[in-house]
Each structure stands twice: as structure tokens, then as C-alpha cells.
Amino acid sequence: MEKEKIIGICVAKMQDDTRQKQVRTICMNAARRNYQVMVFNVFQQLDNMNNFSQGEARILDTVPMDKLSVLVLFAESFLNMKIVNSLVARARRRNLPVICIDRRVEGCYNVLFAYEESFERLVRHIVEYHGCRRINFMAGMENNEFSDARVRIFQKVLQENGLAFEEERLAYGEFWEAPARACCEKWVAMWKEGRQEMPEAIMCANDMMALAVDAVLKNHGICVPDDILLTGFDGMALEKYCSPRLTTACDDIEMIGKEIFCIIDSYFAEKKEKPYDIMIPFRTKCSESCGCEEVQLCNQNEQIMFWYGKSAEMKTHFADIFLMMTDLTDGYSAVDMAWQLERYRDMIAADYLMVFMNQTFYRDTDLPADNCGCGSMLLLSQIWDGEYSVPLQQIPPKGEYNILEKLIKEVGQILVLPLHWQEEVYGFLAVSYQDADKDLSAFYEFVLAYEQVLGTIRRQSQLHKMYITDMLTQLYNRSGFYGRVRKRIKELKDVEKMIFLASIDMDGLKYINDTYGHPEGDYAIKGVAGCLKESVEGRNGICARFGGDEYIVVMIEEKKDADLSFYENYEKHLHGILEQFVKENRRPYMIGVSMGLVYRKLNDMSDIDRLMKEADDMMYCQKSEHHQSRASQEGQI
């Protein structure tokens, strides 16, 4: 990656319409200049940190400041200044310029919105242009800086025009539909009961509350704008589907992109400038709800069909989501789940995607990560130019973003999302931004469902591992042994096979337990288990403990690959490993084993028990000889 060409964006709730448009304009401007973009998104605000949001926030810890040239931080979107300050501090340690949007942060370029100036123009429009004298005001939340600022502006304009501010005409709709409806219902009740004269206008601190007020007024036969003028603020997308269209104000998307890239272009041109603030004005849109434009009856049938179609799409989408979750969680294998995910390519709707899993996930599943060191990751799934694959590629610590270099060079802009189960982080997903931007809300729902699948698979894999694993030694138990042997035979079903089978019994365990205690006996049992695993390391060996001091080692290989020399010398090989273990661990006792070995042509699973019986007989014969030898030595003493 070329450092001078990469813009990093950190944002929360990018699926919200306004924020999505703001990110989109940055990406469009970047594409025109051949700058690459990495967007790191969390799907929820981080003001109330619960287990889920803690898991979401961890993706921000992975932002590769050393790969970036500029960090664009949607500071207000997080509603968590601790996280914002942490990102800024990390960027500064790399001398990385930071552009903060919608929140002033010391030492950063700050792109701010002229909310107060724009809202004042809207209030003056109602008071001075339309001449309204009785105005009700729907604020947001009490003690919220944005809401309180708009209340102060409202009071200021009233005072400058010789109008008294009436406390009873102020309500707090909390910026949401339901509280705004409740407040408006109280106002209507007061008007009908004669406790308050009906206002000439209602001004709302945002569009959502204004649309809720309009709905309540309609239900009571009060017409906007004929009976009451109505305004909102912030220019939400839903407004364009309503009748009458709202008088409101919205941000200037084009200017946002222009000003941000004035900063970025200057930085890349090596102009030495101290960080400064830029104020982006809101555009006032005087429309039908204040009477400035004649109300045009919308084509209701067309809108009904549009939203009906959207509703049908969402029903199908949610049905597909539940089908995917049910299908992918029918088992415990993460490898099988990764391959089955290909069935839901249409739901992913991406031509480029990578799924990276960390140690928290892969160590508890059947993913082939035995050689992965601490901090390593694994590339689980990939879609490249529309082709789906399961690479299962091991990635060294901090190497995952080197892998992403290939993706970002191919597509130019990528979106990086966390994968987690509550606070447990499993890894991350990287997708072409152009793919995700088609329908970010639907993609968000897919990611949430996929996270549930990952969490369920991990839990089921843990349970399965307990079912097939001997807890003391971490070898297979009897059930796990038969399952693994059956799978290995299936892997080699179309070729001639050889089996090497060793029945092994530890010598002198009772003596160790009686003399040194059961904890020391457990240590010896685990020591033998470790030596057995070492003895067949790298050879597809299957090691199991059948209980007590009984073990079995099996190798099933294609006949042409069978190593007869290894089979013949296995007993000597294992004794050497055991002697080294005793020497290195300085135990006050010897650890020995008796064993019986067989190696034969293998036909199918029905041969296993017969061969085990043959090896057992040989092992018991050797064990008897060892017992007689020890007894003879003790008699001589």
C-alpha cells in the first residue's frame, strides 16, 4: 500500500442515511483523485457501553495508523469521547493528521456544521417572514447540547421580535417519533379544552419529530399548512415521501466533500498549515409545510407500491436470514460452515470480501490452526471477483493488513467491520465499499446474523470437543478416536490404505500413585500423552486415551506413502522420547510403557476392532514380561 494515498475513516452507524451520504461523498472524491480508502465502521453508537458495544468497539483498536496518511474521524457519531480521544492520540503518535467531523477536538482539523446559524434562519423565516406570533416548539432531550442550543436560538429570535417565550409552548420530544407524538397529543388536548390557544406554527428540532407532529395533527383534522405551519430540521430522507413536504434544513453534502479534500490535498501537497476549523452551512429548504410552496398532492398509489415492494423485499430478506442461520448452525464444524456459506452468496451481494478469524475463534473449532502462533489470524472465507473460496490461510501476527493490500489495490475502497459475539471478538470482515454501499442496512443484518452463526458454531464446537476429548490429556477419548478414524478412512476411500496401530499401556502407574500421590500420577499420564503426540507429529497420527493408563496410536496412510521403517522402529523411537521427557522434567521415578504394534493393509472400519485386539494381546504379553522383570529386580534387592 502506498502510504501517501490511503485515507482512513472511522465512523459509527454508517447505515444511517445522512452519515452514509457523508461517507459516500468522501469516497467519491477520493476515487476521483485515485486515493485509496479504508472505512472502519461500528454499527451502533458507543455511548452506553454494554457487552455488545464493547465487542463492536474493538475493531477501532485495529485501525492500522502506520498504513494511513490521513484519518477522518466522525467524532460525534460515536457519542463517546474516550474512544475519540484514544483514536486521536494513536494518530498523533504517528504524526498522522486527523480530520474530525461534527465535533471540535483540540489539535485536529475540525469540519463543523453551522447548526445554530442555520436554525436561526429557519426561526426568523417563521417569525419575520410569515409573521407568526404564537409558536410551539418541540425540542429534543433536556440537557442535550444540540437541543438546548436550538431552544436558546428560538428564545433569542422571539425576544428580538418583541415576543414573549411561553414555557407551556415548549415540549421535549427527545428527537424520536413516539415521545414527539405523546407531546403533540397533550398539546391538542390543551387546545380542545381551551387551556392553550392553538398556535400559528410548530417548530421542531428535527425532521422525525416534525413528521410525527404532522401525523398527529392529521389524525385530529388539523391541516398543515392551512391551520398550522410546521418546520423540521436536518433533512432526513423520509421527508421526500411525505405530503406536505417539510420546510427544513440539511447539510451541504457536496461542500463537505470539497472542504475535506481541500485539507487532504493541501496535506499531500506538503503545505505546512496548522489545524483549523471549517464551518459547513446548512441549506434552508422552504417548502410546503410552511406555505412557501403550494402543496402538490403526491402520487399515493406510486408511493404505496414503492413501500409495499420495499416491505416485501425485507420480508424475503429476513426469511433468508433465518434460513441461513438455521442452515449454518446445523453442526459444529467451522470448516463445513465456511463452505456452506457459499449458498448465500446472493444475500452477501459482494464481489470482493474477506473474513479473518482470530485465536479466540479458531482455537475452539476444527479450523486447521495447530501451527498458528499467538496473535496469528486465519483467512476463513473469501470472495474474489465473484468467486467464493475457503482459503484457510494462516496469517502471522499483524500480517492481516498486508493481506488486505491486495484487496484495496483491486477495489480502491474497503469497508472493515467487526465480527464478535457480545464482548468476545472473533475477527473482522473486509468488503469492497462499493458492494456494501448498495444496501448497507441489509448488509448490516447479514453481518449480525453471521456473527450469531459464528458464536453458535464456536459453542457447539466447544461442546463437541468436550464430547470427543479426554479432559486430562487432551487426546481423543474412545468416541473421538472412532470418529477421527472413520473420517480418515473416508478421506482415503478410493485408494489402497495401510494402518499402523500401537496399543500402549503405561507401566507402574499404581506405584507412582501410591508412592507420590495421584497429582503426580496425573502428571505422568499427561506426560506420556505428550510424548505420544510428539512421536507422530507431522504424520497425521491419531492419539487417544481409552481410560486409566491405556492409550492407542494410529496412522492411516495411502499404501504408496506408508513408511514401513518408521513402523518397525516406532517402539525405539517412542522410548527415546519418553527418556528425554523424564530427563528434562527430573521426576523421582521412571516412566515406561508396554506396547503392541501391528501394521497391515486396511480395508474398512470393520478391520479396526480386530486389529486393536491383536495389538492389545501383544501389549499385554509385553506388559507381563515387564512386570516379571520388575518383580525379579525387586527380589534381588
* Pair (84, 121) in one structural domain: no
Per-residue confidence band for 632, with pLDDT thresholds at 50, 70 and 90: low
* Pair (410, 344) in one structural domain: yes
Q: Which H/E stretch holds residue 66?
A: none
In a domain, 298, yes or no: no
Sheet holding 542-547, edge to edge: 542-547, 550-558, 497-507, 592-602
Per-residue confidence band for 241, with pLDDT thresholds at 50, 70 and 90: confident
CATH number (domain holding residue 599): 3.30.70.270
Residue 436 has a pLDDT of 67
Residue 503 has a pLDDT of 97
In a domain, 261, yes or no: no
248-300, pLDDT tens digit by residue? 998 888 899 999 999 998 888 876 678 999 999 888 899 999 999 887 766 77
Residue 633 has a pLDDT of 56
In a domain, 593, yes or no: yes
* Pair (209, 230) in one structural domain: yes
In a domain, 272, yes or no: no
* Pair (178, 132) in one structural domain: yes
E strand intervals along 390-541: 393-395, 413-421, 424-432, 497-507
pLDDT at 544 over 90: yes
Question: How many domains are there within the chain?
Answer: 4
Q: Which of 466, 488, 520 is the last residue of a domain?
A: 466
In a domain, 263, yes or no: no
In a domain, 307, yes or no: no
pLDDT at 2 over 50: no
Q: Which of 56, 89, 107 is the last residue of a domain?
A: 107
Residue in the block written with cell 406536505 = 244
Structural domain harbouring 382: 313-466
Judge whether 205 and 170 are in contact, CB under 8 Å. no
In a domain, 25, yes or no: yes
Residue 477 has a pLDDT of 97
Q: Look at residues 364, 546, 373 and name the one whose alpha carbon lies nearest to residue 461.
A: 364
* Pair (149, 38) in one structural domain: no
Distance, in Å, from the CA atom of 173 to the CA atom of 140, rounded to the nearest integer, reads: 5
pLDDT, averaged across the chain: 92
* Pair (447, 512) in one structural domain: no
Average pLDDT over residues 424-443: 86
In a domain, 299, yes or no: no
Judge whether 45 and 78 are in contact, CB under 8 Å. yes
* Pair (103, 119) in one structural domain: no
DSSP state of 371: T
Question: For residue 282, what are the β-bridge partners?
Answer: 251
pTM for this prediction: 0.83
Residue 319 has a pLDDT of 92
